[in-house]
Amino acid sequence: MGKIKNDVSTVIIVNKNQQQTQSLRIKTKHIYRLKHYAVFAVLVVLSLVVSVIYLKKENKRNAEERQKLIAEVYRLQGQIPKADTVKETQSRAQQYIEGIESKLKNINSYLAKRGLKGFSHKSIGGPKIDTALSEEQSFAMYDDYLSRILKDVASTPMGYPKVSDLTSFFGYRSDPFNGGHAEFHPGIDFRGNKGDKVTCTANGTVVSAGWSNGYGNCVRIRHANNYETLYGHLSKINVSEGEKVKVGDNIGLVGSTGRSTGNHLHYEVRKNGKLVNPVNYLRLN
């Protein structure tokens, strides 16, 4: 290997069988960085393996939690008497049935706003009810039960804050500002154009709305059941601190503010103050 210039080296390749040689000119800095490139490649492979293992465990845990929600709703099916079996004099009982139907429609509305498939509400049932209770009391318990399910669904982050392709996932990745290093990415990124609408994924209260270091223009929302969501790099913020928001509300616009290499939405989910993989909350099951 002979050095021709300060920044260029010549690599000589010798063919033993034909006694011929070939030369290849390469920037010297790449030769000195071969070890770094190799180490970085190994780190990337290891991070991918760790991410796959972690995602499998998290997917299994979240699938179990969501399956409980689905099971609760399906247990409601087929247990309340059909409307034509209820005496005409029981008008209040009929109102309870209609109220329950309305709540299931609201549940489906929340899921639809998240891009998720809703529940069937052709027939309704519920948890075991004391047979000593009147029909009206039983219907009231069904109504209360579904009200709690509705609140949980409305306050749990589910679905897409922006329906588009994912460009970066949760976990370790190559640092977009320094390809020679790896960094932990605390959320997921969605592809977008400046000005695209960003929507809230659950009912909650805005706890911060403004500039937040590397996140740039950022909105953080606190939800029930100790959930929080974060929306970063916004070009515009449409909500203010302390404001109550509902699923599907437009909270801001896609941008590239803060530590960003281009227009996109950065999205995070926290449970009990700890980061969790938002991918597990994009679909119900």
CATH code: domain of residue 217: 2.70.70.10
Boundary of a domain, candidates 155, 187, 205: 155
DSSP 235: S
Statement: the pTM of the whole predicted model exceeds 0.75: no
pLDDT of amino acid 102 = 76
Boundary of a domain, candidates 133, 155, 177: 155
In a domain, 251, yes or no: yes
Is there a single domain that holds both residue 107 and residue 151?
yes
pLDDT of amino acid 71 = 64
In a domain, 61, yes or no: no
pLDDT tens-digit map of 175-218: 777 666 788 989 999 999 999 999 999 999 999 999 998 999 99
Sign of CA dihedral 134, 69, 118, 204: positive
DSSP secondary structure string for all residues of 3-21: E-SSSEEEEEEEETTTTEE
- What's the one-letter identity of residue 235? S
In a domain, 60, yes or no: no
Is there a single domain that holds both residue 10 and residue 84?
no
Residue 254 has pLDDT above 90, yes or no: yes
| Residues 158 and 111 sit within 8 Å (Cβ to Cβ) | yes
Number of structural domains the chain divides into: 3
| Residues 216 and 257 sit within 8 Å (Cβ to Cβ) | yes
- What's the one-letter identity of residue 137? Q
pLDDT of amino acid 91 = 59
pLDDT of amino acid 281 = 86
Q: What is the helix, strand, coil percentage profile of the chain, to 5?
A: 35, 30, 35
239 membership: H or E segment, kind and range: none
Sign of CA dihedral 138, 139, 142, 143: negative
Of 200, 217, 201, the C-alpha closest to 209 is 217
Is there a single domain that holds both residue 171 and residue 137?
no
In a domain, 52, yes or no: no
In a domain, 69, yes or no: no
Is there a single domain that holds both residue 80 and residue 17?
no
Residue 85 has pLDDT above 50, yes or no: no
| Residues 100 and 81 sit within 8 Å (Cβ to Cβ) | no
Is there a single domain that holds both residue 201 and residue 254?
yes
Is there a single domain that holds both residue 93 and residue 171?
no
Residue 125 has pLDDT above 70, yes or no: no
Is there a single domain that holds both residue 149 and residue 172?
no
Is there a single domain that holds both residue 195 and residue 266?
yes
In a domain, 220, yes or no: yes
Average pLDDT for 225-247: 95
Is there a single domain that holds both residue 148 and residue 194?
no
Is there a single domain that holds both residue 274 and residue 171?
yes
In a domain, 70, yes or no: no
Is there a single domain that holds both residue 190 and residue 242?
yes
Sheet containing strand 20-27, edge to edge, reads 2-3, 8-15, 20-27
Counting residues of the chain whose pLDDT is more than 70, the rounded percentage is: 62
Average pLDDT for 70-93: 53
Structural domain that includes position 23: 2-32
In a domain, 40, yes or no: no
Is there a single domain that holds both residue 182 and residue 131?
no
